[in-house]
A and B are shown apart, each in its own frame.
Chain A
Amino acid sequence: SQTIHQWPATLVQPVGSPLSLECTVEGTSNPNLYWYRQAAGRGLQLLFYSVGIGQISSEVPQNLSASRPQDRQFILSSKKLLLSDSGFYLCAWSSTLGLEYFGAGTRLSVL
């Protein structure tokens, strides 16, 4: 069966520091991969998606970037965090059916 791993679960970072969140998927090949951000009490905002290695599409302009160095690995990065980058970050994968399966999420607090 397929599983998705996302870490860390919680992260507290100072303003201006770099960020790297990692997500890996097991049990499937060539998945579509997604990064979402969820602000408190709000819906899911799609940040990036990828349909293959090295293929990244950005949905909103921002201080973040994404990379997909391997088929089942998706990384969310920032060179310098802003206060506004705080939030709950979710990684997800989908098959060709479109249904997305989510990781446990990372709570990022930028202080």
Chain B
Amino acid sequence: EDQVTQSPEALRLQEGESSSLNCSYTVSGLRGLFWYRQDPGKGPEFLFTLYSAGEEKEKERLKATLTKKESFLHITAPKPEDSATYLCAVPTGTASKLTFGTGTRLQVTL
């Protein structure tokens, strides 16, 4: 069965304190890995798609990387506005379904 596990569940950083979020996956035949950001009370917002091991994508203070077993979302010098829940997901099954991790709740304080 395809599985996606995210860690840590919650992370509290001070502004400027860099860190990484982990997404490990077990899926037969990876067809991509997606990162989303979700603010409280809103729908997830797409951040990145990664398709092959070694691939990296960047957007402002965020960088996503992919290996054969896991993906990392690196946050460099975070700001309070980066506070959100970050979700990763992989396509599974035959009908373009996504399996989501439970997310990492990030809080960045001044």
CB distance from A25 to the nearest CB of B (A): 13
CB distance from A51 to the nearest CB of B (A): 6
Listed A/B pairs (29) with beta-carbon separation below 8 Å: A32-B96, A34-B97, A43-B87, A43-B102, A43-B103, A44-B44, A44-B100, A46-B97, A51-B95, A51-B96, A57-B95, A90-B43, A94-B96, A94-B98, A97-B32, A98-B31, A98-B32, A98-B91, A99-B34, A99-B49, A100-B98, A102-B44, A102-B45, A103-B43, A104-B42, A104-B43, A105-B41, A105-B42, A107-B41
CB contacts between A and B, total, < 8 Å: 53
Q: How many residues of B contact A (CB 8 A)?
A: 23
A49 near B: Cβ within 8 Å? yes
Q: Which 5 A-B residue pairings sit nearest by Cβ, starting from the closest? A: A102-B43, A43-B102, A98-B91, A44-B100, A98-B96
- Nearest residue (CB) in B for A91 is B43
Taken residue by residue from 33 to 56, chain B's Cβ proximity to chain A (1 for < 8 Å, 0 otherwise) reads as 010100001111110010000000
Excluding A44-B44, A102-B45, 5 further A-B contacts by CB distance (< 8 Å) are A6-B43, A32-B96, A90-B44, A99-B34, A104-B43
Contacts of A98 in B (CB 8 A): 31-32, 91, 96, 98
A30 to B31, CA, bound (A): 21
Instruction: Report yes or no: A105 in contact with B43, Cβ–Cβ below 8 A.
Output: yes
Contacts of A29 in B (CB 8 A): none
Complex interface residues of chain A between 16 and 65 (CB less than 8 A to chain B): 32, 34, 41-44, 46, 49, 51, 57
A92 to B100, CA, bound (A): 13
A104 to B41, CA, bound (A): 8
A48 to B34, CA, bound (A): 20
A1 near B: Cβ within 8 Å? no
Contacts of B43 in A (CB 8 A): 6, 90, 92, 102-105
